[in-house]
Structure 1
Amino acid sequence: MSFPDPITVFRLEAGELLEQIEAGLLDLGRNLDDRDLVDAVFRGLHTLKGSGAMFGFDALAAFTHHCETAFDQVRKGEVPATQELVAAVLEARDQMRLLVETPNGEHGAESERLLAVLHQAVKAAGGGEAAAPVDTPVKAGEQKKPAGRKRYTLLFRLPVNAMANGTNPLGLLDELRELGDCKVIADRASIPPLEKLVPTNLHVGWRVELVTERPRSDIDDVFIFVMDDMELSVSEEDLDTAPVVEVKPQVQPVAPAIAAAPAAAPVSKAEKAPVQDVRANARGQENVRVPAERLDELMDRVGELVIAQSRLYQLATSSVDIGLRAVSEDIERLSGELRDTMMVLRMVPITQLFGRFRRLIHDLARETGKQIELVTEGESTEVDKGVIERLADPLVHLVRNSCDHGLETAEERIAAGKSPVGRITLAARQSGGEVTITIVDDGRGIDRSRVRAKAESSGIITPNTQLSDQELLQLIFQPGFSTAAQVTNLSGRGVGMDVVKKSVEALRGTINVVSNPGAGSEVSLAIPLTLAIIDGLLVRVGSGRYVIPLAAVEECLELSIEEDLRSRGRSFISLRDSLVPFIRLRDLFLTGTKPDPFQKVVVISTGSERVGLVVDQIIGDHQTVIKSMSKLHQDVATFSGATILGDGNVALILDVAHLVAAGQHQEAHMRAAG
């Protein structure tokens, strides 16, 4: 049996904790009086510190301790939460990530700088040093009074898999010893015989008698990041007055074997009484953490299975063996179900992508001095994880561009009759086999005259070139194009939008820009839901076979020889009182063969734009496993990839976006000529 590397597991869990801490800080920045958010951030910092120390990340634990102590003061009402404190801990959170990823790096100077900023923020809020020792907590409005000594009797047992998950029980006992005089008794009654012993399982429970002046909350803090899954009961006795016993079990008391262990002091009846479990002690495995590489490998295997199934189907259809056909149908059904299941496994909600921009907007607002609000819509829309990963950088460029170029300062917005707070809206919606992501700002809009002037001065277009509004707006995606008056940390070098266009095209997606002067701009990205396997329509043009993504197909029509001859020179068909341009793929691919007597027109669309593709034969639907084109064919814009057919031959996958754009350009050219 192989076990996961504990350090790798810790880094994964630390990444999740850091995301939770960041989300809590960003929420707290909008509502500084929310005590639940303060507690959530404190718990995250406490867990990260404890786990870091447990796994040998001492620099991380020491650095995080300062942030934890600062929030402990906020939690206890000693200092208020302020924007400066939130910003300081957010910046420190980035340093924590570095300490997790590269614990042996040279981070000392930067850590000291960040701690100085943190301490200054705490002092400005009216507190002491962030790392100063914290005395017994005093609630707001109460007077501090000397604390009396108390004896706490703790009975606790961790989950059997606690050590395998990275929890060191000895560390918990050490933390209890730091609180006062501590006597620890191990309960070994549940240890199985040697032949049944699993070395990674934890079978020992503990009885702890603690005499201290520290409050009960300090004991709870020791178990704060294992509380949900453990068994714990606590009894309390005031040693400075008459004995008073109070039982406050967090969860189900420990098994009777612990109560039967030798004890130095009698256990009260209340301590032995059964207590209703308020948490699910054995939750079961709701989630399984799987490396992304394994999912990718599994998807490759499913793709090969789909290709093999296609070959089997062709053999079965040409055979008279009924049994072979039945097996082929079963394999086709099972491979289809497996494919659909695999696709679901790869799908993740786009909120994982949108969530990153809360921090970006926060930082951009501080950097530019603008007031910016982020609104997200359609966070539950699911997209292939590969698409999510490759969309992150393009969206960062677009959001930064909207904040820098689009949104005005508060003074300019007020003068224009707008709210002083600029708004950036990130929205996602699914339509067929595509997901459309829009980035909308309510800023000044795109100055078309500046775009044209910059394009002409850069030699991108010649003076007096006739361009449609969309073609003019698309110039902002040209390499080296920028309308910024000066280079800043945010923009001005003319590389960001070029990267966006290339990245989106690499995803077989399209970009559309709409801008209204004074009202803002909207950039829409239409991206396929998945990059691995798609449903396609297999067609024949001449002697070659091609695949059209089925999600883009609207309908299929027949084009007779007479209609083909009548349309020569204009390439339009009438479709329900509207003219749709079409492209003869035979001419485009230079097949050199005669057309079939009854050609077909496949009408495809992207958004509101449509174009027809004239083919010789529609073969049928086809499960298409997408294979990337070689580097020698990267400049062939008509095709987005290739696939292997059941007979072993290769079919090229048509790039729908490119063909629709070519058809629309052809239509505009003909209308201008007419």
Structure 2
Amino acid sequence: MSDDFAQAFKDEARELLADLEEALLEMEENPEDLAIVGRVFRTMHTIKGSGAMFGFDDIASFTHNVETVYDLVRNGALAVSRELVDLSLAARDRILAMLEASESGVAADPALNEEVIARFRAMVPAPVESQDADPVEEDGAEDPPEALVTYRIRFKPEAEIFSTGGNPLALLRELQELGPCNIVAHTCNMESLDRLEPERCYLFWDIILTTAAGRNAIEDVFIFVEDSCELNITVIDDGTRQEQGTYKKLGEILIERGDLTPGQMDELLGRQKRIGELALEAGLVDAAAINSALIEQQHVKEVRQERQSQVQSQEATSSIRVSAEKLDVLVNLVGELVTVQARLSMVAQELKKHAELVSVAEEVERLTNDLRDNALDIRMLPIGATFSKFKRLVRDLSGELGKTIEMTTEGADTELDKTVIEKLNDPLVHIIRNSIDHGVETPAEREAKGKPRTGNIHLSALHSGDSVLITIRDDGAGLNVDAIRAKAVERKIIPANAEMSDREIWQLIFAPGFSTASKVTSVSGRGVGMDVVKQAIEGLRGSIDVKSDPGRGTSITLKIPLTLAIIESLLVQIGKDRFVMPLSMVDECILLTEKEMEQNPGRDILLVRERIVPYVPLRQMFRIEGKAPSIQQVVICQLEGKRVGLVVDWVIGEHQTVIKSLGRMYQQVVGMSGATILGDGSVALILDVPAIMKAAEEAG
């Protein structure tokens, strides 16, 4: 089996396992919903079938045991229980471990696999053993046997089924295991030997199968090739008819299968008249009624065919799997194109007398913007897939801590750049773990406070301009301002006489080494986690806002940019150097004269609409030589509810910034988060506004 097929299976299996985990948690909440049980069974069956097809025999064998149990659940022979869900989640983790082992080369622990399999086998009811004595028949003592149903199956795979790893022979053998089976291969599409392509499938099959397993079992056989074949399953004998003699005429069977049309049958039978002609001769209907019925018949037939064609077309083109590396290359190329387009626009403006060149530059700019937006949109993914992962975290950790907590979500269809989503996982895990451990109380404590015994953690996401707001809210005890302040003073994070608002005290939970836990546990207490959260969010050019209501809960809101590839920014200049800053952080720009600076000697503050705003002279901070102009400009930025001004020589205007990473030697430079190439080929540094604000605060 080629590496490409194996990798395709691994990618698909990971998606299936994520869906399986979500389905299992839903099944625990709705144990009577057979649709969810069927979803779990089909996912297991797909993993088993695909695993066997692509050479992952260990996964196929392991999953077969799980599938056996869920077949019983689906048929009502076994009830859904917490034990079953726990065991199924453990099985899901073992399948993932086997997948990862196939990549790392380190085998998954077989003992753990056997332990899970043994527990699943123990859940299967043992068959009733026969007694030595003759059984005594009693009315109603035995369940009636399952009815045998005969099906006609036409299986017509696509010609390219072999190239996707499909094996029709394996599917036919699996059908034979369901009951008495007759298989006929159709060779009418075969090519001559000199035109035969060995990688194409020219056959299709008719199968007559009698089984008590039911239609679902037949569909499950074809579940992982259903999108690449034509499959028709028809009941031809359900065991309830008492008809004697011939089953059906040959012509009827051929017509039902679609091998012969009624018109062709009429031609073969020659003199036999049609039903319409017979009805006319008998005087039962008139010609108009016959004509109307024929038109209706043809019309409905055409409409249904057209509708089916559209559905098949939509299903075939609705999605395509593309590797993340290819998308990254595309976005990088679009970024380079944006830079070249800026250069073209600059040249066109310098040569304004060439109207045609200006027109071409404007058209290129429009097309480049559309291409940029589409390329970035391709990398957008709904955040719901990330939210669903945390249901398992809440379930397992709350059980470990003896708490009862449910997680609710909102805005799961909100989209973010895939790179941002990947980097959000760890910060969200830390916040949710802290909410479970420190926020939500035990059932007894909640009951004593008049709260429901079951706590709640709510995750929501919504768009806000060019950013996404992600809120994690719990209904727990809230933050204890006095305890946080006392611990901060004890750790010498703040002086004892510091005057701070509640909002500022809440932000102290993100200080390095800060923790109010009285003892260290496996979950928290070491003072690591929330400071890592803040670093990660600031690394995404985002911000964190905390709100808490004592006794009612805490809400943490993350403001995250939609993408990290290309951003709208503000281009400024200091001396001969140019810088850019994210436009999403900019509130306004105002002028700063020498007279205003002299009014507050030694204090870098401004009065803006009756509010005091501190400012940072970037020329001094970056040690840029030269004299500043008599009238400078202040770019006022807002972050985490705070406003601060950045003093520059000139504000040039808005700019589309293609973000480039700094080299290793410059990654630790304070105040810089990257660089970009301007239209004239020069380099402008991207200002790290949160880092500049932090450095200014520490400098006093």
TM-score range, shorter chain: 0.7 to 0.9
- SS of 1:294 mapped into structure 2: helix
Residue 496 of structure 1: aligned partner: 529
Residue 89 of structure 1: aligned partner: 88
Residue 113 of structure 1: aligned partner: 115
Q: What is the Cα deviation at residue 201 of structure 1?
A: 4.0
Residue 167 of structure 1: aligned partner: 166
**Structure 1 CA distance for aligned equivalents of residues 636 and 523 of structure 2:** 42
Once the two structures are overlaid, the 10-residue window that deviates more, 81-90 or 583-592, is 583-592
- SS of 2:55 mapped into structure 1: coil
Contact 2:545 2:558 (8 Å CA) reproduced: yes
Residue 202 of structure 2: aligned partner: 203
Residue 236 of structure 2: aligned partner: 236
Change (3 A) 1:570 1:432: farther
> Cα deviations across residues 614-658 of structure 1 (Å, max 9, x unaligned)?
322122222111112333333333222211122222211122334
**Structure 2 CA distance for aligned equivalents of residues 396 and 496 of structure 1:** 9
Letter in 1 for 2:77: E
Change (3 A) 1:654 1:29: same
Change (3 A) 1:307 1:281: closer
**Structure 1 CA distance for aligned equivalents of residues 212 and 465 of structure 2:** 65
Change (3 A) 1:344 1:147: closer
**Structure 2 CA distance for aligned equivalents of residues 51 and 293 of structure 1:** 25
Q: What is the Cα deviation at residue 193 of structure 1?
A: 5.5
Change (3 A) 1:579 1:204: same
- SS of 1:163 mapped into structure 2: helix
Contact 1:406 1:520 (8 Å CA) reproduced: yes
Contact 1:584 1:615 (8 Å CA) reproduced: yes
Residues 349-364 of structure 1: matches in 2 within 5 Å?
349-364=382-397
> Cα deviations across residues 370-425 of structure 1 (Å, max 9, x unaligned)?
11111212222221111100110111111111101111100011111111111111
**Structure 2 CA distance for aligned equivalents of residues 174 and 290 of structure 1:** 33
Q: Which runs of 5+ in 1 are unaligned?
A: 130-140, 247-251, 260-273, 670-674
Residue 541 of structure 1: aligned partner: 574
Contact 2:461 2:468 (8 Å CA) reproduced: yes
> Cα deviations across residues 197-243 of structure 1 (Å, max 9, x unaligned)?
66544332101233455545433332344446532133433689646
The TM-score, its normalising length taken from structure 1, stands at 0.85
Structure 1 position 326 matched with structure 2 position 359: yes
Q: Which runs of 5+ in 2 are unaligned?
A: 128-139, 249-254, 263-300
Change (3 A) 1:561 1:484: closer
- SS of 2:317 mapped into structure 1: coil
Structure 1 position 473 matched with structure 2 position 475: no
Contact 1:156 1:254 (8 Å CA) reproduced: no
Q: What is the Cα deviation at residue 507 of structure 1?
A: 1.4
- SS of 2:459 mapped into structure 1: strand
Match of 1:344 among 366, 377, 401: 377
- SS of 1:145 mapped into structure 2: coil
Higher helix share: 2
**Structure 2 CA distance for aligned equivalents of residues 440 and 326 of structure 1:** 52
Letter in 2 for 1:256: D
Residue 290 of structure 1: aligned partner: 322
Change (3 A) 1:365 1:186: same
Residues 120-519 of structure 1: matches in 2 within 5 Å?
120=122, 122=123, 127-128=125-126, 144-147=143-146, 151-192=150-191, 199-212=198-211, 214-227=213-226, 230-237=230-237, 242=243, 256=259, 280-282=311-313, 283-319=315-351, 320-458=353-491, 460-461=493-494, 463-464=496-497, 467-519=500-552
Contact 1:540 1:619 (8 Å CA) reproduced: yes
**Structure 2 CA distance for aligned equivalents of residues 386 and 48 of structure 1:** 27
- SS of 1:530 mapped into structure 2: coil
Change (3 A) 1:549 1:366: same
Residue 33 of structure 1: aligned partner: 32
Once the two structures are overlaid, the 10-residue window that deviates more, 363-372 or 304-313, is 304-313
Contact 2:408 2:457 (8 Å CA) reproduced: yes
Residues 543-558 of structure 1: matches in 2 within 5 Å?
543-558=576-591
Change (3 A) 1:202 1:554: farther
**Structure 2 CA distance for aligned equivalents of residues 362 and 101 of structure 1:** 24
Contact 2:544 2:640 (8 Å CA) reproduced: no
**Structure 1 CA distance for aligned equivalents of residues 194 and 366 of structure 2:** 46
User: Cα RMSD (Å) of the superposition?
Assistant: 3.3
Contact 2:380 2:415 (8 Å CA) reproduced: yes
Letter in 2 for 1:56: G
The TM-score, its normalising length taken from structure 2, stands at 0.82
Once the two structures are overlaid, the 10-residue window that deviates more, 276-285 or 514-523, is 276-285
Letter in 2 for 1:237: D
Change (3 A) 1:620 1:193: farther
Once the two structures are overlaid, the 10-residue window that deviates more, 290-299 or 644-653, is 644-653
Change (3 A) 1:193 1:573: farther
Contact 2:476 2:552 (8 Å CA) reproduced: yes
> Cα deviations across residues 496-548 of structure 1 (Å, max 9, x unaligned)?
22322222222122223223332222222222221111111111122221112
Once the two structures are overlaid, the 10-residue window that deviates more, 344-353 or 280-289, is 280-289
Q: What is the Cα deviation at residue 289 of structure 1?
A: 0.5
**Structure 2 CA distance for aligned equivalents of residues 257 and 484 of structure 1:** 79
Contact 2:571 2:581 (8 Å CA) reproduced: yes
Letter in 1 for 2:112: E
Structure 1 position 650 matched with structure 2 position 683: yes
> Cα deviations across residues 320-371 of structure 1 (Å, max 9, x unaligned)?
5444433333332222221111111111111122121111111112222211
Q: What is the Cα deviation at residue 116 of structure 1?
A: 3.2
Residue 75 of structure 1: aligned partner: 74
Contact 2:633 2:649 (8 Å CA) reproduced: yes
Q: Flag the structure with larger Rg.
A: 2
Once the two structures are overlaid, the 10-residue window that deviates more, 439-448 or 99-108, is 99-108
Contact 2:151 2:233 (8 Å CA) reproduced: no
- SS of 2:569 mapped into structure 1: strand
**Structure 2 CA distance for aligned equivalents of residues 84 and 519 of structure 1:** 33
Change (3 A) 1:612 1:56: same
Contact 2:571 2:578 (8 Å CA) reproduced: yes
